[in-house]
Amino acid sequence: MKKAVVVFSGGQDSTTCLVQALKEFDEVHAITFDYGQRHKLEIEVAQSLAKELGVKAHKVMDVGLLNELAISSLTRDDIPVSHELQDNGLPNSFVPGRNILFLTLAGIYAYQIGAQTVITGVCETDFSGYPDCRNDFVKAMNSALVQGMDRPLEIATPLMWLNKAETWALADQYDALQLVREKTLTCYNGIIGDGCGDCPSCELRKVGLNDYLANREAVMAELVRKQTTES
């Protein structure tokens, strides 16, 4: 039996990954992390979507210690999300160590349930400048988990080389475009669906959606080309 664990935030990217995983794996588990993020609604959205989509199990893990250590606009209500980069070249929404922790815990969960794959929606093509969304980082984490647990495991990143328009196309490929558009929470200001339209996350999402809707056939063709090349 092919089992997978999806790192699931209830946002556009992870929901698209979850929809795809449910078609490709015999059993899918979702894992969501409560790290005191800016909007608790994110967890509620993830729970609702996991139930609606019919995952085998949905684990919500308390990792509040991350909030104590990582100071970011996503972990502090008194720090507004900025469109400008910090002196270190990173956005102030970057949560240092977040994906290191998340992938480690997801890998442990996969070990316990006998899953061969951990799926995460990180992307190097259209990303927010986070170093822990890069392919080299994921490969390094994958190697560390395999060596540290002495067990085969793949960290799959279906969105790694897709732009946002192609991510929308992927959701559409699985007849989930409207679900992703209307029921996910990507907005840094906590507004479900199309969001506030102003924060960096909403801007990225909106530009990608508009591009896809305006160039549906061309974007879908490019998605299929990338899928064929990867396989």
Binding annotation for ATP: 8-18
- If you count DSSP H runs as helices and E runs as strands, how many of each does the chain have, helices first? 9, 5
Cα–Cα nearest to 174, from 57, 18, 46: 18
Q: Are 205 and 12 in contact (CB under 8 A)?
A: yes
Q: What radius of gyration, in Å, describes the C-alpha atoms of the chain? A: 17
d(CA 7, CA 15): 9
Binding residues: 8-18, 187, 196, 199, 202
C-alpha distances in angstroms, 9 versus 30, 48, 81?
9, 11, 19
The residue behind tokens 């790192």 is 7
Structure tokens at 55: 């995952």
- Known binding-site residue numbers for Zn(2+): 187, 196, 199, 202
Residue type for 64, please?
G
